[in-house]
Amino acid sequence: MPPSSPEQAFDPSADPHRVLVAGEALIDVIHRDGTTREHPGGSPANVALGLARLGVATSFLTAVGDDARGHAISERLTGAGVTLLPESWSLPTTSSAEARIAADGSAAYEFDITWQLPRRIAVPPVRHLHIGSISAFLAPGADRIEQLVEELRPEASVSFDPNIRPALVGDRADAVARFERLARRADIVKLSDEDALFLYPDVRADEAARAISSTGALVAVTRGSAGSILTAGGSTVEIAPVTVQVVDTVGAGDSYMAALLAWFLEAGLDTARGLSPAELASAGQSAARAAGITVSRAGAEPPTSAELAG
């Protein structure tokens, strides 16, 4: 059947629990202790993987090449139960990121990435759309992401993790404007303290979170070893970090995002309005546990539902 437009394909009654993640997938070329290895990555791809490992039915729209790296990404995701949309095979070669891991486990990245999407995409029935990272800012695909949000927003809730890479977002003012357009349409916004500093350098991260949440969104700000804060409906809670031996921080924020979203969906919520402080704490603690498991092992390896429950 030929691809149709999202409006033609969308039928939320067919599978109201399915999530669509839309964004980049790439190969992380990881340099550490004098060695180099390749591993599938990309923030949205990691979120899709994390959701699937937590038992959430997940489809993924991305842009990869029909090459060895593209197939490595596909095998990793589909092996976990993610459905890779056929329109994802749209690039001549798969994008990559060079990650250099420091002694403390932190990662510094350099990117070789192309981000574009076909105009016509057969979107599966979804209850929720997750977007973010490079794909939400990098032309020409970023405009298509905004279109997907507009097309699906009347029937699907939306989550957004900007995961900002300053070298790739272009003009800062344009990036802030795009962030704010997407954040206004999101039910969940997750950002790091570094994202908050880039977007709003003159205010504290918790103040930025409260301002963003004024539209009715649940806003989470991750702060590394300082834990995280969650804000919704005028309530703010602080979540302590999970104490673990850190191997590296690759994928920690993505695991946090996936677990936060899984909690949100499991609770059967369509918006963040009316969440109590206890519910915010429960969501944040689940997300923190997921991030703690991920940083305790090498690479972006989010937990399964059994690991998170344990």
User: What angle is formed at CA 194 by the lines to CA 35 and CA 144, rounded to 5 degrees?
Assistant: 90
Domains and CATH numbers, the chain: 6-113+124-299 (3.40.1190.20)
Residues 295-304 have a mean pLDDT of 90
- What confidence tens digit (pLDDT) does each residue in 165-184 have? 998 999 999 999 999 999 99
Residue with tokens 């937590």: 54
Q: Higher confidence at residue 48 or residue 30?
A: 48
What is the reported pLDDT for 53? 97
Residues 197-217 have a mean pLDDT of 93
pLDDT band at 9 (very low <50, low <70, confident <90, very high): very low
Is the confidence at residue 241, as pLDDT, over 60? yes
Q: Higher confidence at residue 130 or residue 153?
A: 130
pLDDT band at 11 (very low <50, low <70, confident <90, very high): very low
pLDDT band at 1 (very low <50, low <70, confident <90, very high): very low
Residues 12-38 have a mean pLDDT of 81
Candidates 236, 223, 216, 226; CA nearest to 281 is 236
* Percent with pLDDT over 70 in the chain: 93
Token readout for 69 is 């790296």
User: What angle is formed at CA 218 by the lines to CA 213 and CA 221, rounded to 5 degrees?
Assistant: 85
pTM of the full predicted structure? 0.91
Is the confidence at residue 14, as pLDDT, over 50? no
What is the reported pLDDT for 15? 53
pLDDT band at 45 (very low <50, low <70, confident <90, very high): very high
Residues 6 or more apart whose CB falls under 8 angstroms from that of 203 comprise 211
Contact between 221 and 205 (Cβ < 8 Å):
yes
Partners of residue 108 on adjacent β-strands? 100
- What confidence tens digit (pLDDT) does each residue in 47-88 have? 999 999 999 999 999 999 999 999 999 999 999 999 999 999
